[in-house]
């Protein structure tokens, strides 16, 4: 990313000091971490690789860190790379056969959906270690006056995690940008429009798809690890289930998967939506929020497939022309 | 350079290519002709790795390439165009060709070099690209040119050109024929050319192979093939006299 972004990043960096409450800081961290995960997903999604398996990658990242900390005392600085590597390995295990044998579109979506369910089931089944569907909390070092630990990646002050989340988000945007400017984007666009023609000009279709899948899974697992670490709690429904996969897909479609900041807009939008629903209707009507969620997804796919930011960009371009 | 032996392709019970054999020498332009559905494009798809042969062998520069993937065949040095152009819709003209230059040479050239070679190929073919033109505005002739530029950008030793002239007007056809000759002369590329427009083809190619129902029914010099009664019966028909004229009137530019 070039210098022009430094002022914008600086402006974001002072945010935690000017917003009125730590609740707002909490929302900002949420937006940044989810934006990072959504950006990771869109690396595949923008080229037509619609994955419902990202809940699995997120869960693997999140659980690897918490479990290795609780059972082996391994610092997140070491377990995060392990969790990411594990997610990438799973991505290859699923992706390679899919791409090698040309499983695409709906079938690819189904295979990845199954992956998410498998990972969730494994977490639930290993309840003696993982805490099952009740979730698990990383052993806290924040006691007896200790308010932070770099080694444990635990901080009493949310503002510290805000900067970690901001760095992750900026990294995600940077990766998106680099791929957008690379030959890999050409190759993926070519594969997206005609695999045989792409292969005929020398593109290795399987390898290219696998590469983008590995990058996407890695970012998502990193996002999951940071999310679990920030929440100091992981639960199969909140970091690994089909619900998470669906949320990712919905948010990115809503925000716009073909533009750099689309996933970020999607994160802001979905957060406003859930918070609004929570404040507006509370828990009065059971499952109303997920019903509205599903309805909105349908509406977006039909009426605004390029998402909020994509639509806005189109409008701007047309206004200028 | 290319040696095809008893090459066969069956789709289910239907035999599209039936035990064909031929050789191709370096620097040759070979015409591959025949009625609709006679197996010309299928032969290309077999050589180019889109289909795996049911039987037979394809040797290219001494190496068996039958059954390799399209990517591998491209990297081995064979470029191909598609009968119906298959551009990458979301990429601009120059991006389409840059991609081919970069990946067609298996990453052996830098991105900058790929861009330069792509611009070269487009200039050679005569397709504008300087302003980052998109695909959507291109007509039939321009799309054919893009196909050709993309194939050339992979820097092939052998070019498989499938019906490059369909949809072009008289002048554009002459241009395209000149272009094939020029490609051979300047870049020393061997060419197999599938074409229905006999007038132009017969004046350019060194040799002709005629397919019918997946079998080779005739092969030889253009004048010989154009006079072959079997070829006249299944393919040339009432145009035979005119085609023979073209075959005799080959410009000297055709031979080196
Ligand atoms: N993928 C396929 N599956 C089944 N049949 C096929 C397939 N590809 C080609 N064929 C059949 O094989 C035969 C030869 O087709 P091919 O495209 O090679 O003909 P062609 O000589 O290129 O004809 P044209 O001059 O019309 O381009 C046709 O009958 C066609 O229907
Ligand atoms: Mg054909």
- The answer to whether residue A58 scores a pLDDT higher than 60 is yes
User: Domain for residue B137, yes or no?
Assistant: no
pLDDT of residue A284: 64
Ligand 1 atom closest to the CA of B35, numbered from 1? 25
Q: Is A155 helix (H, G, I), strand (E, B) or coil?
A: strand
CA distance B201 to chain A (A): 25
| pLDDT band of B57, cuts 50, 70, 90 | very high
CB contact under 8 A, A187 and B104: no
B69 contacts A192? CB cut-off 8 A = no
pLDDT score of A1: 53
Higher pLDDT, B186 or A123: A123
Assess whether the C-beta atom of B253 lies below 6 angstroms from ligand 1. no
Any domain includes B51: yes
Range of the domain at B58: 1-77+160-171+190-230
CB distance B103–A193 less than 8 Å? no
Nearest to B69 among A190, A197, A199 (CB): A199
Domain-located, residue A127: yes
When scoring B103, B110, B113 by the number of chain A Cβ atoms within 10 A, the one with the most, hence best to mutate, is: B103
* CA atoms within 13 A of residue B204's CA, in its CB half-sphere: 28
CA distance B255 to chain A (A): 29
Residue A232 placed within a domain: yes
| CA-closest residue to ligand 1 atom 11 | B16
| Number of compact structural domains in chain A | 1
Structural domain boundaries enclosing A215: 3-239
* Residue A283: band (very low, low, confident or very high) from pLDDT cuts 50, 70, 90: low
- What's the CA gap between A298 and A147, in Å, rounded? 45
A105 domain residue, yes or no: yes
Chain B: give the shortest CA distance to residue A266, in Å: 24
In the β-sheet with B55-60, what is the strand arrangement from edge to edge? Answer: B14-24, B2-11, B55-60, B63-64
Chain B residues lying within 8 Å of A189, measured CB to CB: 88, 90-91
Say yes or no: CB of residue B203 within 6 Å of ligand 1: no
Mean pLDDT of A285-295: 74
Tell the burial category of B34 from Cβ atoms under 10 Å away from its Cβ (0-12, 13-18, 19+): buried
Is the residue at A230 inside a domain? yes
Helix (H, G, I), strand (E, B) or coil at A148: strand
Q: Is A212 part of any domain? A: yes
**Smallest CA separation from ligand 1 atom 16, residue:** B39
Question: Hey, are the CB atoms on A199 and B91 less than 8 Å from each other?
Answer: no
- Residue among A201, A258, A321 with most chain B CBs within 10 A, to mutate: A201
Kind of pairing between the strands at B78-80 and B14-24: unpaired
- Written in H, E and C, the secondary structure of chain B is CEEEEEEEEEECCEEEEEEEEEEECCCCEEEEECCCCCCHHHHHHHHCCCCCCCEEEEEECCEECCCCCHHHHHHHCEEECCCCCCCCCCCCHHHHHHHHHHHHCCCCCCHHHHHHHHHHHHHHHCCCCCCCCCCCCCCHHHHHHHHHHHHHHCCCCEEEEECCCCCCCHHHHHHHHHHHHHHHHHHCCEEEEECCCHHHHHHHCCEEEEEECCEEEEEECHHHHHCCHHHHHHHHHHHHHHHHHHHHCCCHHHCC
CB pairs under 8 A between A and B: 74
Q: What are the tokens at B124?
A: 């050679």
Taking CA atoms only, the protein residue closest to ligand 1 atom 18 is B39
Question: What residues pair up with B215 in beta bridges, in sequence order?
Answer: B212
B10-55 confidence digits (pLDDT tens): 999 899 999 999 999 999 999 999 999 999 999 999 999 999 999 9
Give the whole-angstrom CA distance, residue B108 versus residue B124: 22
> Is residue A203 less than 8 Å (CB to CB) from chain B?
yes
Residue of chain B nearest A200, judged by CA positions: B70
Q: Is residue A188 part of a domain?
A: yes
Sheet of strand B158-162: strand arrangement:
B78-80, B158-162, B190-194, B29-33, B207-212, B215-220
pLDDT of residue B71: 97
* Nearest-CA residue for atom 7 of ligand 1: B11
Query: Domains in chain B: how many in total?
Result: 1
Verify whether the Cβ–Cβ distance A190 to B91 is below 8 Å: yes
- What pLDDT score does A61 carry? 97
CA–centroid distance, residue B31 to ligand 1 (Å): 18
The β-bridge relationship of strands B207-212 and B29-33 is parallel
Mean pLDDT of B66-77: 95
Interface residue of B94, B96, B99 to substitute, partner A, most A CBs within 10 Å: B99
Q: What is the CATH number of the domain that holds B201?
A: 3.40.50.300
Model-level pTM?
Answer: 0.90
Q: How far is B49 from chain A (nearest CA, A)?
A: 8
**Closest ligand 1 atom to the C-alpha of B214?**
14
**B22 contacts chain A (CB < 8 A):** no
How distant is the alpha carbon of residue B98 from its chain centre?
Answer: 20
Distance of CA A25 to the CA centre of its chain: 19
Which two three-digit tokens encode residue A261? 């900041």
CB contact at 8 A, B256 and B27: yes
- pLDDT attached to residue B253: 44
Given this model, what pLDDT does residue B254 score?
44
Cβ(B52) – ligand 1 distance below 6 Å:
no
Q: Whose CA is nearest to atom 30 of ligand 1?
A: B37
Asked whether the CA dihedral A36, A41, A44, A46 is positive or negative, the reply is negative
* Torsion, CA B223, CA B227, CA B232, CA B237, rounded to 10: 80
Is residue A59 within 8 A of residue A224, CB to CB? The reply is: yes
Tell me, yes or no, whether A320 lies in a domain.
no
Query: Cα–Cα distance between B88 and B150 in angstroms, integer?
Result: 11
Contact list, A197 vs chain B (CB under 8 Å): 82, 86-88
Distance CA A191, CA A102 (A): 11
**Cβ atoms < 10 Å from Cβ of A76:** 24
Average pLDDT, chain A: 91
Residue B52 falls inside a structural domain = yes
What b/e string do you get for A204-237 counting C-beta neighbours within 10 Å, with b at 16 or more? Answer: bbbebbbbbbbbbbbbbbbbbbbbbbbbebbbbb
Least confident interval from A29-43, A219-233, A281-295, B64-78: A281-295
Is the Cβ–Cβ distance between B144 and B164 less than 8 Å? Answer: yes
Q: Is residue A246 part of a domain?
A: no
Verify whether ligand 1 is closer than 6 Å to residue B39 (CB atom).
Answer: yes
Q: Residue B108 domain-assigned?
A: no
Give domain status of residue B201, yes or no: yes
């Amino acid at each position: 990313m070039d210098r022009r972004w430094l002022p914008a990043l600086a402006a974001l960096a002072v945010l935690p000091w000017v917003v009125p409450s730590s609740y707002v800081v909490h929302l900002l961290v949420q937006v940044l971490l989810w934006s990072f995960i959504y950006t990771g997903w869109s690396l595949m999604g923008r080229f037509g690789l619609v994955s419902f398996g990202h809940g699995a990658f997120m869960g693997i990242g999140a659980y690897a860190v918490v479990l290795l900390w609780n059972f082996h005392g391994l610092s997140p600085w070491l377990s995060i790379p392990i969790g990411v590597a594990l997610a990438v390995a799973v991505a290859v295990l699923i992706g390679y056969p899919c791409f090698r044998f040309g499983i695409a579109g709906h079938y690819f979506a189904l295979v990845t959906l199954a992956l998410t369910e498998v990972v969730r089931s494994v977490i639930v089944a290993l309840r003696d270690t993982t805490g099952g569907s009740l979730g698990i909390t990383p052993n806290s070092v924040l006691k007896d006056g200790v308010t932070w630990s770099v080694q444990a990646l635990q901080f009493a002050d949310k503002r510290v995690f805000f900067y970690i989340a901001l760095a992750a988000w900026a990294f995600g945007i940077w990766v998106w940008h680099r791929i957008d400017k690379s030959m890999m984007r050409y190759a993926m666009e070519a594969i997206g429009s005609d695999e045989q023609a792409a292969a005929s000009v020398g593109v290795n279709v399987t390898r290219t798809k696998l590469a983008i899948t590995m990058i996407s899974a890695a970012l998502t697992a990193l996002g999951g690890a940071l999310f679990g670490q920030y929440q100091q709690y992981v639960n199969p429904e909140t970091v690994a289930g089909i619900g998470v996969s669906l949320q990712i897909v919905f948010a990115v479609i809503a925000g716009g998967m073909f533009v750099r900041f689309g996933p970020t807009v999607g994160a802001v939008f979905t957060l406003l939506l859930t918070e609004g629903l929570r404040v507006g209707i509370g828990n009065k009507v059971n499952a109303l929020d997920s019903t509205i969620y599903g309805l909105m997804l349908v509406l977006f796919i039909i009426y605004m497939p390029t998402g909020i930011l994509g639509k806005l960009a189109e409008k701007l371009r047309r206004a200028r022309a | 350079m290319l040696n095809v032996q008893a090459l066969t392709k069956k789709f289910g019970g239907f035999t599209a290519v039936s035990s064909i054999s031929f050789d191709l020498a370096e620097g040759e332009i070979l015409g591959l002709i025949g009625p609709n559905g006679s197996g010309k494009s299928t032969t290309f798809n077999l050589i180019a790795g889109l289909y795996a042969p049911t039987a037979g062998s394809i040797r290219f520069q001494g190496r068996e390439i039958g059954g390799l993937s399209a990517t591998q065949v491209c990297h081995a040095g064979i470029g191909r165009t598609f009968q119906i152009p298959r551009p990458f819709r979301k990429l601009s003209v120059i991006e389409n060709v840059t991609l081919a230059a970069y990946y067609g040479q298996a990453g052996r050239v830098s991105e900058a070099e790929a861009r330069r070679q792509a611009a070269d190929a487009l200039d050679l073919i005569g397709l504008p690209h300087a302003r980052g033109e998109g695909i959507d505005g291109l007509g039939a002739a321009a799309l054919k040119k893009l196909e050709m530029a993309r194939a050339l950008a992979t820097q092939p030793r052998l070019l498989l050109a499938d019906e490059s002239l369909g949809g072009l007007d008289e002048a554009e056809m002459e241009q395209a024929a000149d272009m094939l000759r020029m490609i051979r002369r300047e870049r020393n590329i061997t060419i197999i050319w599938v074409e229905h427009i006999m007038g132009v083809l017969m004046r350019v190619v060194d040799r002709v192979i005629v397919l019918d129902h997946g079998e080779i029914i005739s092969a030889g010099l253009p004048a010989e093939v154009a006079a072959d009664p079997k070829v006249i019966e299944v393919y040339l028909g009432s145009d035979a006299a005119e085609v023979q004229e073209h075959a005799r009137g080959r410009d000297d530019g055709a031979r080196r």
